[in-house]
Amino acid sequence: MVPSIFDPDLEAAFQDDGFVTVERLIPDHVLSPLHERFDRLFRGVFETGVAPDEVNWQDGSGDPALTRQICNGWKADRLVASVILSEHLGAVLARLAGWPGARIIQDNLLWKPPDARSVGFHRDNAYLDWYRPQEMATCWIALDPTAAVGGTVEFARGSHRWSTDGDPFMQFHAPVDHRGPMEAAAAAEGVASDVVPVEVPAGGGSFHHGWTWHGSGPNRSDVHRRVLVLHCGSSEARFHRPGFEEGTGPIYSRYARPDVDDMDEVHFPVLWRDDGYRTPGLESLTVQL
């Protein structure tokens, strides 16, 4: 069942552990069509005619040993947009994060085929110096059944409460030791890491805090692992120009306008706000699920 915006158990787990898993986020009948859209997008076929902001893997040229990634596929495909622009998921993320509303910062389409290598442990907020408040909350949606042996995402329980000072940038793709930076951070905190894999059926997933350490091991199974990821910030988020050259700033600062710091809702739409506001026209970018 899709979580309620007012679920106290969901909030408690999120605040205590820095993440919470959920058995159902999207309906079964959407899974197969989304697999088809992944096939098309990673071949460079963009339904809307608009390219995603980042295309880090394409059929015929991408390294088969790496996790495939596209960022802001919602701009390129209406079915993907129907999930990513969800008013309900935006409301849940806002509630968990304690914001008055949620706007999309970025989506990820991730595809880890059998034998693909690891993704290094990292913290999302460390890459967000280009806007304020420097906060992100994330919904991770599995499009295939997930298991530890299949390289599912792993969270370090309670790591959202660890120090945020001096976070180095991580090696995302195929590091030798994908948990190494997190283990070093745990040692600096004087605690033992408690790593939890997200093992859910297709259509399930998780929510996690922007300071929670997470990554994933190699896919040692014969199951493809496709995931849709919705990264939100506060509806009140504004550009922070001193950080434009840090993290992902050089990519997304191109949507800033001269002399104003507000984030254009064409590119960073508000999915939900507690006064009932939602960016007008989002329904025209989606299809009925």
| Residue 2 placed within a domain | no
Residue 247 belongs to a domain with what CATH number?
2.60.120.620
**Structural domain count, the chain:** 1
Structure confidence at residue 168 (pLDDT): 56
Q: Is 115 within a domain?
A: yes
Could you tell me what percent of the chain has a pLDDT over 90? 85
Closest CA to 189 of 218, 163, 150, 221: 163
pLDDT in tens, 69-113: 999 999 999 999 999 999 999 999 999 999 999 999 999 999 999
| Model pLDDT, residue 4 | 77
Pick from 260, 17, 24, 224: which is nearest to 139 by CA?
24
- Report pLDDT digits (tens) over 13-54: 999 999 999 999 999 999 999 999 999 999 999 999 999 999
**Residue 1, in any domain of the structure:** no
- Say which range, 161-170, 198-207, 267-276, has the weakest mean pLDDT: 161-170
Residue 101 lies in a domain: yes
The domain of 188 spans: 8-256+265-285
Q: What is the pTM of this model?
A: 0.95
Please write the tens of the pLDDT for every residue from 209-218. Answer: 999 999 999 9
